[in-house]
Amino acid sequence: MTEAISVQDLRKAYPAHVAVDGLTMSVGQGSVFGFLGPNGAGKTTTVRMLLGFARPTAGTIAVLGQTISGARDADLARLRGRIGFLPDVPGFYPWMRAADVLQFAGSLVGVRGSTLRSRTEDLLGLAGLTDVRQKVGGYSRGMRQRLGIAQALVGAPELLILDEPTSALDPIGRKGVLDMVSALRGRATVFFSTHILSDVERVCDEVAILDQGRLVTQGTVDDLRQRYGGSVRYAIDVDADPSQVSDALAREPWAGRITTTETGLEVAVDDLVVARRRVPVLVSQLGLGLVRFEQIETSLEDVFVSLVERAA
């Protein structure tokens, strides 16, 4: 796959701390790429360097085939014309309506006439704002984020960089933004920087996990689950006190770590076949009713917590 972004040994040091330390990663063209890390991991600093707003202390960056390091201002300006960017809190003139915002943004990047009118109509539809007549000053946070993505797309960029696009949104606002990001797959490369794991798990093809300025790992969500998921776990809920089940499981050679949940138990197992047969038998022998017994799929959150704790 052709690389939209290639970063090699990237470092950004400030007098008081190192924000990015030896980062190497690549982003495939046309993918939705999740750039994941806790607050303060160096995500926004990396985004600023990708856009040419901050100069790296060391290392190289290539975006859409253009090397950033040492590039002239004119070359950076042309490159930015091929990139759409949404900051974490986009700002708009409050007296404008959505169509006005897109028309204005389009004129700034050289899109005019019937092309701009057609693109405005398409992007308002993509953002779910076609029938919204109120001024932007009265928009909810989710509406503003969707409009911000539409504005970033008005120049038909090859690369869209989103910095924390769902931060502080309610569930409805988050769903609207994520649906919009999903719809862009294959139309543009999307670089999605966030600390919200469930959002990445839902929309991203590939993920890079950053912690304390360093790359912890990179791969597809399924690949990371398989590599770092650990033991298979089962959820067990019964219709009475689960402590009896916990004691019985502790004596089974195939049962590993047992944890208590709000509704029952979770147990790590070494032998799936034996576990499936023995758990119903054990519960029955204790005279209890089995309410729930199912395999728990390893989540990206499980992988993330494990890797960050291991790196620390």
CA–CA separation, 87 and 162 (whole Å): 6
Instruction: Give the pLDDT confidence score for residue 311 in this predicted structure.
Output: 64
- Tell me which of 171 and 246 has the higher pLDDT: 246
Retrieve residue 163's tokens: 């910095």
Residue-wise pLDDT for 12-43, tens only, equals 999 999 999 999 999 999 899 999 988 889 99
Q: Side-chain half-sphere of 132: how many Cα atoms within 13 Å? A: 25
Q: At what angle do helices 300-311 and 221-228 cross, to 10 degrees?
A: 60
Nearest to residue 237, comparing CAs of 245, 227, 229? 245
Question: pLDDT of 251-302, one tens digit each?
Answer: 999 988 898 888 889 898 888 889 899 999 999 999 999 999 998 877 777 7
Q: Tokens 């620390």 — which residue?
A: 312
203 and 181 Cβ atoms separated by less than 8 Å: yes
- Strand-by-strand arrangement of the 3-13 sheet: 18-28, 3-13, 58-63, 66-67
Of 146, 116, 144, 141, residue with least CA distance to 128: 146
Report the relative pairing of strands 159-163 and 189-194 from DSSP bridges. parallel
Say how many C-beta atoms besides its own lie within 10 A of residue 259's C-beta.
10
pLDDT in tens, 125-170: 989 999 999 999 999 988 999 999 999 999 999 999 999 888 778 8
Q: How many CB atoms lie within 10 A of CB 298?
A: 19
- For residues 49-65, average pLDDT: 92
Q: Please give the Cα distance from 126 to 177 (Å, whole number).
A: 10
C-alpha span between 283 and 256 (Å, rounded): 17
> Tokens 């990139």 appear where?
83
pTM: 0.78
